[in-house]
Structure 1
Amino acid sequence: MKNDPRSHGLWEQSAPPPPATSPLRGHVDVDVAIVGAGYTGLSAALHLAEQGRGVAVLEAEEIGFGGSGRNVGLVNAGLWVMPNYLLSTLGHEMGHRVLDLLGNGPRTVFDLIAKHDISCEAEPTGTLHCAVGQKGLENLRERECQWQAIGAPVHLLERDEAAVRIGSSAFSGALVDDRAGTIQPLAYARGLAAAAMKAGAQIYTGTRVNAAQRAGEWWHLSTVGGASVRARWIIVATNAYTGDLWPELRSEIVNLPYFNMATRPLSPELLKTILPYKQGAWDTQKILTSFRLDQAGRMILGSIGALDRVGQPVHHAWGRRALARIYPELKDEAFESEWYGMIGMTSDALPRLHKLGTNVLSISGYNGRGISPGTVFGKTLAQLICGQIGMADMPLPLTRAKAAPARAAREAFFAAGSIISHAGAARL
């Protein structure tokens, strides 16, 4: 996108084309204006349109331009944090509500894919959280215990069985989550957009909103191109790619860069033993490594860092070493594409639900778990607007946006820290 091969890389190369869209010209009246065409905005648009609401999605760039089109493609259940942390932070009732909603999040995603016949390489075969050393294994034992206590189909594999599932002896064990899986993330975003448009939603790309004013019961939104929208509700679904219009959202999100690199398709012989069940994987390190296969059999390796002029050569060299250590048989496999984007992080690793004004709602801060939560929370926002649930039924507490301490310094630290870490020896 935007003539930048490092923005979406393999995903743009292999995704089906997006539905035909264009910038907004003139004026439209709708029930709900949605700013941002990622998973949250597109899911909300789809579910609102299915309920007969008039919807306009206003996207400054293209469908899936932000994290929705750049991520690893792991469809995870739950959030990054352990269940007990959620229960202690959100309370028993709301904590269990989130655990149930997001525990079933992958099923919601895969059901939508099946219902709308979205071509996005869906593999609902589970995921592998891979333990690095004894400390990593102990972390996974605790995760297994907490998830199993609430009935989740999660179980720990010891070293030998994990080696068979991963196709590598580099790890001391692995936690299998049978609820989860993988998708082609940009293809999924484009498929959600096509389904929303078929249901009656209007999607305008290349349409940057630069003002929003309240007049009576209506919001009036104007765009850089001179177009306008009148809506009763606004959903702000911009997450890590939030601009200047709602600065309070940007101020509480710490952007974490994340990159992916993909090889050419591997041989059928290699694919018999490397991730034979097509399960996406990541490790327990703080500066983690993720790895998975796409439908064509390419190995996709990722980690924290930006592939900019400073970081690209360091992260690329690290990727070569890391790939060889996990899979020695791939030591000579070159990366054919590479790309990166931003993850929206919050101070407690939980998403944020905000009311930014009368009938203006936002959910953001997915902390690297955007596919299932974005889809589920977009649907939940639609239910709230349609009156099917009330604010008390929402899965997150309604809070005021609060600026993250030393946000700019932390963002610089993440970028520099990943370079320093990856400049040394690979960690496996």
Structure 2
Amino acid sequence: MSELMCDSLWRASAPKGPELSPLTEDLEVDVVIIGGGFTGLSTALHLAKVGKKVVVVEAKEIGFGGSGRNVGLANAGVWLEPNQLDAALGREAGGALYDMLGKGPDYVYGLIEQYQIECEPVRKGTLHAGVGKQGLAQLQRRYQQMAERGSPVKLLTASEAQQRIGSKSFNSALFDPRAGTIQPMGYARGLAHAALKEGAQLFDQSPVVGIEKLGSRWQICVANAKVMADQVVLAANAYADFFLKPQERKFVPISYSQMATKPLSASELERILPGKEGLWDTCMVMSSFRLDNQGRLIFGGMGNTGTMHTDWAKQRLKDLYPFLSKVEFEYFWSGKIAYSDDHLPHCQVLDQGLFSVSGYSGRGICTGTLMGKELAELLAGQRSQTTFPMDTLGEISMREMKRVFYEVSAHTYHYGQRTHVLG
């Protein structure tokens, strides 16, 4: 299935974004931001609020990339376990990043309320569901490390988890009450409206074809116009097309696909995630599921969409919820997650006045929003560095081999699960 989002539930159900047009006239601004996702829009919003003249140029449409294809889990923290985070950055820097991202959902839901963003915000927490002995051990480690740092998480027993999830397939779950779910395309479009309200300029259908440093300033070229700026932010993340293509070599792109059912019956909704939490599991080939405001069940898993992926998803849902009537999917879509080698988000300084963000590892909503806020403060001279690592990433060795490994692993897992069921 193509990368076009014509079959995306989020694109189909989100409120309309602002009416934008391609950039056709030359401009001079303080900051130009390339990419209209969570990070780029948050950066623009926060810069405009302090009076900076800022422009966003988006190659496709607002939220086209990973932001609009997101699962919609507004999680606290990073992908790594807290001790791994400390080992990677040092206790002080790791602790600062952990604490800051722990407050990420507060900030995101605060922006949603402040700007009245229509994005189906539900703050009922998230469940990290345990599968097998290794999954239980992982959650026990995470719970202990998070509790030691004061996080209000709870490790649910098998019976508690099964009741909260509505399925007997899990032996535990780590509940985080700080988190929740949103409609990600609605959030992206809402951030765009907010940025415009604060005075930012936004242009879509404007792929950047060149960038050049002229003295102390930067010239960014699109098809029919140029922008001169003091500072540039590359905020394409896993969608580094056109002239940004070299940035792709700094992360491994992982495919993640999602499918949405038709709205479930009232009796089914009473049994499936009755508390309306979002969920992902501990399987090596991770899957996720959640509900939307119309009662659709959205199921996702690593790998590209296709017949095998869809067949596996249908069977997996039947295994999880045997009482479900025939599973019918209305929407299918896929996206890319940017995994850095250390699984950490980075704010890179590529040159004087040239910044690039990358590596959210599937935690883009809160991470991207806060990255944009801190990056705006950095560019406005309100801070000397970000809480995020600011080292420049090198190219990942054997990147294509690693990408293929993830894809083949997902394919093999889905095939094995399907064969096991059919056998």
What TM-score does the superposition give when structure 2 sets the normalisation length? 0.96
Q: Once the 2 structures are TM-superposed, how far is the Cα of residue 215 of structure 1 from its aligned partner?
A: 1.6
Q: Once the 2 structures are TM-superposed, how far is the Cα of residue 409 of structure 1 from its aligned partner?
A: 1.8
Indicate the residue corresponding to 1:379 in structure 2: 373
Equivalent-residue separation in structure 2 for 1:5 and 1:33 (angstroms): 26
Q: Once the 2 structures are TM-superposed, how far is the Cα of residue 133 of structure 1 from its aligned partner?
A: 1.8
- Contact 2:285–2:409 (8 Å) recurs in 1: no
DSSP-derived class of the 1:69 partner: coil
Q: Once the 2 structures are TM-superposed, how far is the Cα of residue 358 of structure 1 from its aligned partner?
A: 1.2
**Are residues 1:133 and 2:149 paired?**
no
DSSP-derived class of the 2:319 partner: helix
Structure 1's 5 and 330: CA in aligned 2 closer, same or farther, altered over 3 A? Answer: farther
Equivalent-residue separation in structure 2 for 1:398 and 1:294 (angstroms): 36
Equivalent-residue separation in structure 2 for 1:42 and 1:110 (angstroms): 16
Q: 1:343 aligns with which of 327, 331, 337?
A: 337
**Are residues 1:241 and 2:239 paired?**
yes
- Contact 2:345–2:389 (8 Å) recurs in 1: no
DSSP-derived class of the 2:238 partner: helix
Moved more, 407-416 or 71-80: 407-416
Report Cα offsets for 1:208-228 as digits up to 9, x if no partner.
Answer: 1111111223211111x2211
After TM superposition, the structure 1 = structure 2 runs for residues 13-28 of structure 1, keeping only pairs within 5 Å, are 13-28=12-27
Indicate the residue corresponding to 1:295 in structure 2: 293
Moved more, 410-419 or 341-350: 410-419
Q: Once the 2 structures are TM-superposed, how far is the Cα of residue 3 of structure 1 from its aligned partner?
A: 9.8
- Contact 1:118–1:192 (8 Å) recurs in 2: yes
Equivalent-residue separation in structure 2 for 1:3 and 1:409 (angstroms): 22
DSSP-derived class of the 1:290 partner: strand
- Contact 1:248–1:401 (8 Å) recurs in 2: no
DSSP-derived class of the 2:376 partner: helix
**Are residues 1:279 and 2:271 paired?**
no
**Are residues 1:313 and 2:307 paired?**
yes
Report Cα offsets for 1:264-317 as digits up to 9, x if no partner.
Answer: 11111211121111100011001011010011110011000112xxxx000000
DSSP-derived class of the 2:213 partner: strand
DSSP-derived class of the 1:43 partner: helix
Moved more, 318-327 or 212-221: 212-221
After TM superposition, the structure 1 = structure 2 runs for residues 168-183 of structure 1, keeping only pairs within 5 Å, are 168-183=167-182
- Contact 1:323–1:331 (8 Å) recurs in 2: no
Equivalent-residue separation in structure 2 for 1:93 and 1:215 (angstroms): 38
**Are residues 1:72 and 2:64 paired?**
no
Equivalent-residue separation in structure 2 for 1:119 and 1:313 (angstroms): 33
DSSP-derived class of the 1:328 partner: coil
DSSP-derived class of the 2:410 partner: helix
After TM superposition, the structure 1 = structure 2 runs for residues 117-156 of structure 1, keeping only pairs within 5 Å, are 117-156=116-155
Equivalent-residue separation in structure 2 for 1:188 and 1:406 (angstroms): 35
- For 2:316, give the aligned amino acid: A
Report Cα offsets for 1:209-263 as digits up to 9, x if no partner.
Answer: 111111223211111x221101111011010001242444211111000000010
- For 1:254, give the aligned amino acid: V
DSSP-derived class of the 1:425 partner: helix
Misfit runs of 4+, over 4 Å: none
- Contact 2:10–2:69 (8 Å) recurs in 1: yes
After TM superposition, the structure 1 = structure 2 runs for residues 89-100 of structure 1, keeping only pairs within 5 Å, are 89-100=88-99
Indicate the residue corresponding to 2:261 in structure 1: 263
Equivalent-residue separation in structure 2 for 1:328 and 1:9 (angstroms): 26
Indicate the residue corresponding to 2:405 in structure 1: 413
Structure 1's 59 and 82: CA in aligned 2 closer, same or farther, altered over 3 A? Answer: same
Equivalent-residue separation in structure 2 for 1:92 and 1:413 (angstroms): 32
Indicate the residue corresponding to 1:254 in structure 2: 252
Q: Once the 2 structures are TM-superposed, how far is the Cα of residue 413 of structure 1 from its aligned partner?
A: 2.3
- For 1:414, give the aligned amino acid: Y
Equivalent-residue separation in structure 2 for 1:337 and 1:208 (angstroms): 28
- For 1:61, give the aligned amino acid: K
- Contact 1:262–1:300 (8 Å) recurs in 2: yes
What TM-score does the superposition give when structure 1 sets the normalisation length? 0.95
Indicate the residue corresponding to 2:328 in structure 1: 334
- Contact 2:348–2:355 (8 Å) recurs in 1: yes
- Contact 1:249–1:401 (8 Å) recurs in 2: no
After TM superposition, the structure 1 = structure 2 runs for residues 153-232 of structure 1, keeping only pairs within 5 Å, are 153-223=152-222, 225-232=223-230
Q: Once the 2 structures are TM-superposed, how far is the Cα of residue 400 of structure 1 from its aligned partner?
A: 2.1
Equivalent-residue separation in structure 1 for 2:269 and 2:325 (angstroms): 15
**Are residues 1:360 and 2:359 paired?**
no
Sequence identity (%): 44
DSSP-derived class of the 2:27 partner: strand
Number of residue pairs the alignment of both structures matches: 420
- Contact 1:261–1:335 (8 Å) recurs in 2: yes
- Contact 1:287–1:303 (8 Å) recurs in 2: yes
- Contact 2:207–2:242 (8 Å) recurs in 1: no
- For 2:185, give the aligned amino acid: L
Report Cα offsets for 1:173-218 as digits up to 9, x if no partner.
Answer: 1110011111001110000001001111001000011111112232
Q: 1:304 aligns with which of 302, 314, 317?
A: 302
Structure 1, unaligned runs of 5 or more: none
